[in-house]
């Protein structure tokens, strides 16, 4: 048979639990603070991701991207009459890009390249 505990025994047991010390309270406070900071950091990162995602173009629009190029107008005899452009861009395929130029861009972006 189990013996029922008196109220004084229950209170005494609780008092001993509370006597575990100041260190246990500090540890619990530190642990709860770390959990709270982790949750807040995760929520902040998620919110920032969704904020940035609003302004990004769709992937399908990037596949069909054609940059604004120079429009050149020629006369009947093949002489250039005029050029129209907002940005003076000339499209160069990647296969025609010099390898040294590609290496220069990579080196500028990644300090560990060389």
Per the listing, tokens 């770390």 go with 34
Bridge partner list, 73: 82
pLDDT digits (tens, 9 = 90+) for 2-55: 566 677 777 777 666 655 677 788 888 999 999 999 999 999 999 999 999 888
List Cβ neighbours of 87 (8 Å cut-off, separation of 6 or more).
68
Q: Could you give phi then psi for residue 60, rounded to 5 degrees?
A: -65, -35
* Contact (CB, 8 A) for 56 and 46: no
What pLDDT, in 10s, does the model give residues 84-112? 888 888 888 889 999 999 988 888 888 77
Q: pLDDT tens digits for 75-84?
A: 999 999 999 8
């Amino acid at each position: 048979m189990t013996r029922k505990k008196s109220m004084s025994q229950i209170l005494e047991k609780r008092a001993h639990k509370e006597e575990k010390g100041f260190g246990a309270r500090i540890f619990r406070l530190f642990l709860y603070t770390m959990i709270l900071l982790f949750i807040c950091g995760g929520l902040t990162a998620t919110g920032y991701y969704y904020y940035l995602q609003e302004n990004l173009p769709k992937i399908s629009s990037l596949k069909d991207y054609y940059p604004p190029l120079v429009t050149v107008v020629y006369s009947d005899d093949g002489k250039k009459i005029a050029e129209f452009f907002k940005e003076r861009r000339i499209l160069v395929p990647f296969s025609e890009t010099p390898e040294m130029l590609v290496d220069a861009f990579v080196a500028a972006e990644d300090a560990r390249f060389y």
